[in-house]
Amino acid sequence: MAQIAVGDRVPAFTAVLQDGTAFDSSSVVGKKWLVLFFYPKDNTPVCTKEACAFRDSYALFVDAGAEVIGVSSDSAASHARFAAKHRLPFPIIADSDRSLRRLFGVPNTLGIFPGRVTYVIDREGIVRLAHSAMLASDEHVARALAAVLPPRG
């Protein structure tokens, strides 16, 4: 499947969270902004930096009416340990079979490593940001915040 792009309607999906519960996208899409950030692997330097940057800006996302959710192919148990270790306040989807990654068309880097892509979906379910940068983890948070915050003026 082609990568989901800005202007596309986000597909409906269900997935398993780090606590083993099911997440249904319809519980968020249509109600609030959704920031979905795909990252390669728990407890690796750039991924940890990115997750902690989302943690550190989490209150700003919540205040803007957004839900932040991480996604990687690690197991729910790995995500639970990762979230506890770094005090992550948002859920993480265990995409162990990479079905969500395929649904969104998240590319691999160098054909091997799972890509790092952040999607921002508005209250109507339309993708407003699709940002891919493998090593610029802070950029994902800054761009996602800019997408959900009201313009200043």
Total count of domains within the chain = 1
pLDDT at 137 over 70: no
Q: Is residue 77 part of a domain?
A: yes
Phi, psi of 22, rounded to the nearest 5 degrees: -90, 140
Residues 55 and 39 sit within 8 Å (Cβ to Cβ): no
Q: Is residue 136 part of a domain?
A: yes
Q: How far is C-alpha 87 from the chain's CA centre? A: 17
Q: Is residue 18 part of a domain?
A: yes
CA distance 34 to 2: 20
Q: Which structural domain, as residue segments, surrounds residue 97?
A: 14-148
Q: What is the pTM of this model?
A: 0.91
Catalytic residues: 47
Task: Give per-residue pLDDT as tens, 80-129.
Answer: 999 999 999 999 999 999 899 999 988 776 666 777 789 999 999 999 98
